Chain A
Amino acid sequence: MSAWWRFRRPGRDAQLVEELRSHLEMDAADRVARGEAPRQAAVNARRDFGNLGLVQELTRDMWAGIWLDRLWQDTRIGLRTLWRTPTFTVVAVLCLAVGVGANAAVFSWLEGILLRPYPGVAPQNRMVAIAGTVKGTPGYTSLSWPDFQDLARSSTGFSAFVADKITGATITGRDRADRAVGEIVSANYFSALGIRLARGRGFLPGEDAGNGTHPVVVISYAMWRDRFALDPRIVGTTIDFNGIPHVIVGVASREFAGTFVGYAMQFWVPASMQTAFTGDYELENRGAPWIEGYAVLAPGVSRASAQASLMVAAARLAQTFPGVERGHSVRVLPLWETPFNAARELAPMLRVAVVVVLFVLLVACANVANLLLVRSFARRHEMTVRLAVGAGRARLLRQLVTEALILGAIATLLGLAIAYGCRHALSWFFAPRSGASITLNSNFDWRVLALSTSLGLASTLLFALVPALRASDIDVTSALKAASLSLSGGRRSSRLRAAMVMIQVAMSFVLLVGGGLLFVSLNHMRHIDPGFDPDRTYTTYVNLLAARYDSVQARTYADRLVASVSALAGARAVALSTSRPLDPGAPYASGPIAVDGYQSAPDETPTAYATSVSPHYFAALGIPIVRGRDFRRTDSDTSQPVSIVSATMAATFWPGVDPIGRRLRAGARWTQVVGVVRDVRFASLIEPPAPLFYLPLRQNFSPGFSVFIKSSRPLGEVGPAVGRAIRSLDPGLAAYNVLPMRDVMQRSTSPQRIAVTLIGICGALAVLLAAVGLYGVMSYIVSQSTRELGLRMALGAAPGGVLRLVVGRGMIVTMAGIAAGAAAALGTTRLLGDLLYGVSPRDPVTFLAALAVMLATTMVACLVPGVHAARTDLVKALRV
């Protein structure tokens, strides 16, 4: 078809020309026959015929396939025109590309982090997260293995329940030790999630039952490639995870990287191998919540009805096991609210990002619209001539729209390229030295491409249409007569441009306010007192599971480690703990407790957070002991179990009473409270601390713990020394990085930091674009009113007066934009929600600061053309 019309076109055209010419000639011949002079006859025939070009054009419109023909022609003309004005083309394309690129990047993050975060998982649309809730405690908890199994059995509306727990491991074999991150999963993991395998098999039913009974592992494609060089005989070989030989039964497909947002998973083991990775055997312990579960909804079942069915099942569980389950329930959450991974942290930031990049796109489009308007005036003559020689008005419009579409298409392609380049940008915000490197992938699937492309083209079209309509709205006769622009056209267009600038100023103002509020929040957060002293405190992690120590050896190792690190130069206090404040990777356990003399509400299970620490923990972290004493070396297995409570815990469970000497039951054991310490913020920097108590590490030992060192020496010195100390005690242990506690703290504010950076960049970009737009409009107005300004000066207006006049006009546009922006900001800053801390979304100081920045910028943008106007050369101006 396309070859046919390309081939036929010149012939058709020539035939039409010949047909019409024969008409004219016959008419002229008839006129001569009737007695007209030959020359007069030709002219008359021509006049009677009408506009030859237009007749041709109208006739061609009737041809089959003509639209393709036209499109091809318009595209060629469009490309040629754009090529001839490179500055315009480059500026317009860049503006749009930034706008479209920012949107595409954010869409791809949304898709990759929140909507379809797990490439390779077939039923992602029906996948939900399953999390526990405890009455009276905010947030979500993990679930125990028995609970999870019971819920899976007794609830309807799901096609599968998939248990999942992120874990770390030390891999040894082929003479090197590496740390790897993977997941402990139920046996149905690969089958229920429809994950394809590059080699071998997934897990067999029943491989998740028992204790250490099925040492099998599926490794990721990346691990197969990087560690095993794509060895084709990999399946069936053995590899040590935490010192236990596991048989590799499969390799996951290349695209699949686990079901955890934040890290790419490297291996999967069945739940039966849980003790090798997390210590105590917990598959039969209903009181040990550790499963971060997912479920796949049955086709056609809504989340709400699945939730209802699950609630019933949970209530039944609570009745059957009132001891551990009272007040517990279960929630079905969409993937983007998964409480166990980075999705929850990043969701509010991404929500803000969507709005911000839309604003940037709007500002960019307004700028391009302004550019097109100016151009449409520069091209007025061209348009007039084309109309006069017979181009239909619709054809002209189509030509302009085609041009805009070409512009939009180039910009969209470039924008997509920019976005693709930024697909890992989110990971950059997480310092690589903060432990394992974070992977936050964007997902460039067809949805993102389609959405970005249509957004890019639609916005270009929308904003190109206004100038296009304006340009084709030409009165040929008067336009041809007057060589210069008609005054009314000029004025109407400058009003339109002013409106565009107003939009830009308004949008930039909103972004400035948003950025300002986030900046203030971040500043507030920086000054939050976490309750501990993060300076000169360093921390690292030791995982003794890999060393296959028995409990006595592990304790000995811990003691020797503390002793050898304490002996390092500059070390003032050294301690161990099973958790780390503000580190989501080393969370605090939460569980039911009993308190002597505390009367709980009927369906309340008193709950508190707990961690095990060694002596000197409070000294190492600079947490003041308010009353009582620190743990001692003598608080051991054989002595009276003791505990230390936080101030909030004391106030909650022993209101008005001194808790020291009172009894507290944690798990199965009653302990005696021996001390009260100051509150620390451990789960989140911005939330007030929940009740927390400490147990001696010796009485509640765990083979994996964080090490804290208070030292007078810098990181560069402490880091290597600590690493050496750890390895010199056992060379088989893979070293974890040594980080300053300040870094750990900062990590917890990364959503805010990302948001501030993002809005900061976007806001600056928008203000710049708005200033350029305003400058353009003011320059245009000045150039159009040179004559008026000249007259005013001739009549005695001082240059200062002219300057005031020009700047005043610009400021009117600016103020109108700011007013609109302020109104929009008052309505939209609520969206920042949780990202704000210690500042009202309508903080007047921030609004005033944004106002000042906006005014200063626009003032400069107006002053330049204003000064230019004030220097108007009288003689030249009036001669024009």
Chain B
Amino acid sequence: MPKSPPTSRLELLQGTLDLIVLQTLRWGPLHGYAISQMIRAASQHALRVDAGSLYPALHRLERQRAIRAAWQTSDRNQRVRIYRLTAKGRRQLAAERSRWDRLTEAIAGILTHPIERDA
């Protein structure tokens, strides 16, 4: 399978792609290309999502009914498939977000006070 060449970009943490996609869609309906651009911009070019990961994730979330897709004509007069969050998607986002917060807090804790916390 072709692997992208190693770069200085960050690898996405496993399981975070859904969270990122849902979070990106919170600002409004977007098509796949816009989502990938938004992620790149929001992370100051540190994160880049492969099309080979993004589109499967979108279609998976669509199947889970977390997002809904519809065809629209873009401002460049092009037919694009845009995704929007559903109510279920918002709940999922909240849940994943709180899990992420707890995770980062825990990891941060370990990294800052590895021994003192035990004592």
Residues of A within 8 A of B (CB): 15-16, 18-20, 22-23, 25-27, 29-30, 49-51, 54-55, 58-59, 61-64, 392-393
Contacts and interface: CB of A to CB of B under 8 A. Distances in A.
B74 to A, nearest CB: 8
A49 B51 contact: yes
14 contacts: A19-B31, A19-B81, A22-B81, A23-B51, A27-B33, A29-B76, A30-B37, A50-B4, A54-B2, A54-B52, A58-B52, A59-B56, A62-B60, A64-B63
A19 B55 contact: yes
Q: Which 8 A-B pairs have the closest CB atoms?
A: A62-B59, A62-B60, A59-B55, A26-B33, A23-B33, A19-B81, A55-B52, A58-B56
Interface string B8-33: 00000000000000000000000111
A19 B76 CA distance: 15
A62 B71 CA distance: 19
A393 B80 CA distance: 31
Given A19-B32, A63-B59, A51 B2 contact: yes
Contacts of B59: 59, 62-63
B78 interface: yes
A58 B37 CA distance: 21
Given A15-B71, A26-B80, A51-B52, 18 more contacts: A15-B81, A16-B55, A18-B79, A18-B81, A19-B32, A20-B51, A22-B33, A23-B32, A23-B33, A23-B36, A26-B31, A26-B33, A26-B74, A54-B1, A55-B56, A59-B55, A61-B56, A393-B1
Contacts of A22: 31, 33, 78-81
A70 to B, nearest CB: 15
Contacts of B118: none
A71 to B, nearest CB: 19
B50 interface: yes
B55 A55 contact: yes
Nearest to A30: B37
A396 to B, nearest CB: 11
Contacts of A392: 1
Contacts of A18: 79, 81
Contacts of A15: 71, 81
A55 B52 CA distance: 5
A697 to B, nearest CB: 90
Contacts of A393: 1
B52 A50 contact: yes
Contacts of B31: 19, 22-23, 26
A22 B63 CA distance: 21
B66 to A, nearest CB: 12
A64 B61 CA distance: 12
A56 B100 CA distance: 30
Contacts of A26: 31, 33-34, 74, 76, 78, 80
B4 to A, nearest CB: 7
Centre residue among B37, B52, B76 by max chain A CB count within 10 A? B52
A54 B60 CA distance: 16
A62 B52 contact: no
Contacts of B33: 22-23, 26-27
B78 A58 contact: no
Contacts of B71: 15
A648 to B, nearest CB: 82
Nearest to A25: B78
B7 to A, nearest CB: 12
Given A18-B79, A22-B80, A23-B33, A58 B55 contact: yes
A50 B81 contact: no
Contacts of A61: 56
Contacts of B80: 19, 22, 26
A62 B51 contact: no
Nearest to B48: A48
A19 B2 CA distance: 22
A20 B55 contact: yes
Contacts of A63: 59, 63
Contacts of A16: 55
Nearest to B61: A62
B77 to A, nearest CB: 11
Interface in B46-97: 50-52, 55-56, 58-60, 63, 71, 74, 76, 78-81
Contacts of B56: 55, 58-59, 61-62
Nearest to B53: A58
A49 B59 CA distance: 17
Contacts of A51: 2, 52
Given A23-B33, A59-B56, A50 B78 contact: no
Centre residue among B55, B63, B81 by max chain A CB count within 10 A? B55
A30 B41 CA distance: 14
Given A22-B33, A58-B55, A50 B63 contact: no
B28 to A, nearest CB: 17
Centre residue among A22, A61, A63, A392 by max chain B CB count within 10 A? A22
B81 to A, nearest CB: 4
A144 to B, nearest CB: 76
Contacts of B36: 23
Contacts of B32: 19, 23
A29 B34 CA distance: 13
A60 to B, nearest CB: 8
A62 B57 CA distance: 8
Nearest to B59: A62
A792 to B, nearest CB: 41
A511 to B, nearest CB: 46
A41 to B, nearest CB: 14
Contacts of B50: 50
A791 to B, nearest CB: 39
Contacts of A27: 33
Contact of B63 (A19, A20, A25, A62): A62
